[in-house]
Amino acid sequence: MVALGTPGLLGFLYLVGKRATLWSVGARRVGTDEAAGLHAIASRLARQADIEAPDIAVSHTDVPNAFTVGRSPSNSTIVVTTGLLDVLDRDEVEAVLAHELAHIKHRDVAVMSVASLLPTISLFIASFSLHLVRAFVDVAKQSLRAGVVTLFLVLLSLPFFVVSGLFWLASALLSHIIGRYREYAADRGAVRITGNAAELARALKTLEAEIEGTPTEDLRELDGAAALSVVPLSTQLGLRTPISHPPTEKRIERLRAMEATLEGSTN
């Protein structure tokens, strides 16, 4: 049943995932007449990255963040919030857009969508197996004959529960590792595009500080895109911070090391 349903789920996400995410955060695509500056930056950076310029969408929320949706470089949209545009200067916005363009170039949205689906499927199988075991036990309470049959069924279904549980642990760990690697790779990609690591480091530091001070009810406006955000939402506010994001301070440390290397190479 799961094997048959998985292709359908993947197909559904392939067709409507982008639109559903944009709708969930209240993002609307904007043209060059509404956001000429953003389009100009994105187009220039896209040429430097040798990819097609993505669409731009804006979410009117005070939560400062950005993320990318879309299954391929030709179908991608970068979403920025008005909160991000309010707290970052032009160079920092450019660095964030370069980070998102690196995600697009490497098809990270598609990669992480598949990676995050595996733990979900395995968890469903484990939960289904556990419900079967509980149902068999309830039946066993009715008679001795039912108990014998139930014992056989429990022993038959128990391996599925154990294997699916172990697969969930393995796939969740894999998703975690891939996600962290993709974020670090997008940071490196942004530096290759812009030639400037310091601006992205400053942008990440500012966004992290702003998000930590944002009320819970405001942060929930972007909860539907938490796994995609350039900076994760705060765990201190009880929201689902994606485990795919490495600690922001670690990313900043790496960016500062890259900046030192770039400065050394120019001296």
**In whole numbers, what is the pLDDT of the chain averaged over residues?**
80
CA torsion 190-53-14-184 (nearest 10°) is 0
In tens, the pLDDT along 215-261 reads 777 777 777 677 778 888 764 444 444 456 889 999 999 999 999 98
11 within domain boundaries: no
107 within domain boundaries: yes
Residue that the structure tokens 């556990």 belong to: 130
Q: What does the pLDDT read at residue 245?
A: 81
6 within domain boundaries: no
Q: What does the pLDDT read at residue 51?
A: 94
Label residue 111 by pLDDT band (50, 70, 90).
confident
In tens, the pLDDT along 33-61 reads 999 999 999 999 999 999 999 999 999 99
Q: What does the pLDDT read at residue 193?
A: 96
230 within domain boundaries: yes
Question: What average pLDDT does range 56-80 have in this prediction?
Answer: 91
Domain that holds residue 53: 17-267
**Number of domain units in the chain:** 1
Tell me the chain's radius of gyration from C-alpha atoms. 22
7 within domain boundaries: no
List Cβ<8 Å contacts ≥24 apart for 4-12. 6/117, 6/121, 9/117, 10/114, 10/117
**Chain mean position to CA 93:** 19
> Which is nearest to 211 in space by CA: 62, 60, 100?
62
235 within domain boundaries: yes
Q: What does the pLDDT read at residue 243?
A: 55
4 within domain boundaries: no
43 within domain boundaries: yes
Q: What does the pLDDT read at residue 3?
A: 43
Is 183 considered catalytic here?
no
- From 92, 94, 100, 208, the catalytic residue: 100
In tens, the pLDDT along 160-216 reads 667 767 777 777 787 778 888 899 999 999 999 999 999 999 999 999 999 888 777
